[in-house]
Amino acid sequence: MALWEKTDSLGGQLTAAAAPPGKHEFSFLPAYYAAALKQAGVEVLLGQSVEKEAISSTNADSIIVACGSHPKALNLEGLDPQALVSAQDILLGRRMAGRRVLIVGGGSVGCETAQFLAREGSISPDQFYYYSAQKVESPEKIASMANSTRRDIAIIEALPRIGGGYAPGTGWPVLADLKRLGVRSYTEAKIQSISDNRIRLEYTVRDRRLDQTETYLADLEFDTIVSAIGSDPCTQVFQQLQQAFPTKDIRSLGDCQQIGTVLSAVQSACDLALKV
């Protein structure tokens, strides 16, 4: 049995998932699987991309494709492509964000990327401890440094609220942190135009108690736009292999079959492994 991975490490999106504050435990999972695979005698081939040419040289009875997903492309007319980055690029440290950041997409990935960037522009827990222990500033000044960010961050969301993708009861610490650090959000927002480093959008404010809505226009300046509008399954490898080897047993699972969560990917892998 062999596991092919095109990058030089196991874990896929878990590396990005583990990057936001408080989520580092996700990074333990790849190390666990690396040990479990070794114990089970599975050959792990890192830096090996699966293409049909590679498969034709194996004599595998079953091929399971778990190629994951890729971020959806955000097309904004008038935007300098240099100013656009994906949430994954930010979380993986592949790109840096400027001081003024607009995050398009207020689901869990957009909210956690906003939190990651806001914390990056604030003082770290180590700095907080050092400043407090050494009385570098007054307690009030240190508290104010810890509760603010040097970045100007706003989330632009098409739906009536941000954080809609969280399971009940799980999103509130992130949303509370965004509020604490002064991250703004614009909901039911429609981008109207972009010119130079300025975006014009229409957004709605709802007063649920009075059942009233007001629509406003905002002009927001930015250095970086972060795209967090979801992911699309990577279906190409599965389709290529099915076409190339119509008589082989080829299946797909995880995000490359249907965008989901770590739990749904692991669950679908267990279910499938019991059938193969």
Interacting span for ligand FAD (CB under 6 A) from 73-81, 199-207, 240-248, 249-257: 249-257
Interacting span for ligand FAD (CB under 6 A) from 1-9, 33-41, 94-102, 192-200: 1-9
Q: Does 167 bind ligand FAD (CB under 6 A)?
A: no
From the list 1, 2, 8, 17, which residue makes contact with ligand FAD (rule: CB under 6 A)? Answer: 17
Neighbour-count burial of 219, counting CB atoms closer than 10 A to its CB (0-12 exposed, 13-18 middle, 19+ buried): exposed
Q: What share of the chain is helix, strand, coil (3-state, %, to 5)?
A: 35, 25, 40
Indicate if the alpha-carbon torsion angle 55, 58, 61, 63 is positive or negative: negative
From the list 237, 238, 250, 252, which residue makes contact with ligand FAD (rule: CB under 6 A)? Answer: 237
From the list 55, 63, 67, 250, which residue makes contact with ligand FAD (rule: CB under 6 A)? Answer: 67
Q: Does 24 bind ligand FAD (CB under 6 A)?
A: no
Q: How many residues bind ligand FAD (CB under 6 A)?
A: 29
Q: Does 27 bind ligand FAD (CB under 6 A)?
A: no
Site for ligand FAD in 84-113 (CB under 6 A): 87-88, 91, 109
In terms of CB distance, is 123 or 155 closer to ligand FAD? 155
Q: Does 185 bind ligand FAD (CB under 6 A)?
A: no
- Cβ partners under 8 Å of residue 116, min gap 6: 19, 20, 21, 90, 91
Q: Is 39 helix (H, G, I), strand (E, B) or coil?
A: helix
Buried b (16+ CB within 10 A) or exposed e, 183-213: bebbbbbebeebeebebebebeeeeeeeeee
Q: What are φ and ψ of residue 72, in 5° steps?
A: -65, 145
Q: For tokens 């570098």, name the residue.
A: 136
Minimum separation from the CB atom of position 56 to ligand FAD (A)? 14
Minimum separation from the CB atom of position 271 to ligand FAD (A)? 13
Q: Does 265 bind ligand FAD (CB under 6 A)?
A: yes
Half-sphere exposure at residue 94, Cβ-oriented, CA atoms within 13 angstroms: 10
* Residues counted in the chain: 276
Binding site for ligand FAD (CB under 6 A): 4-7, 12-14, 16-17, 49-50, 66-69, 87-88, 91, 109, 234, 237, 254-256, 260-263, 265
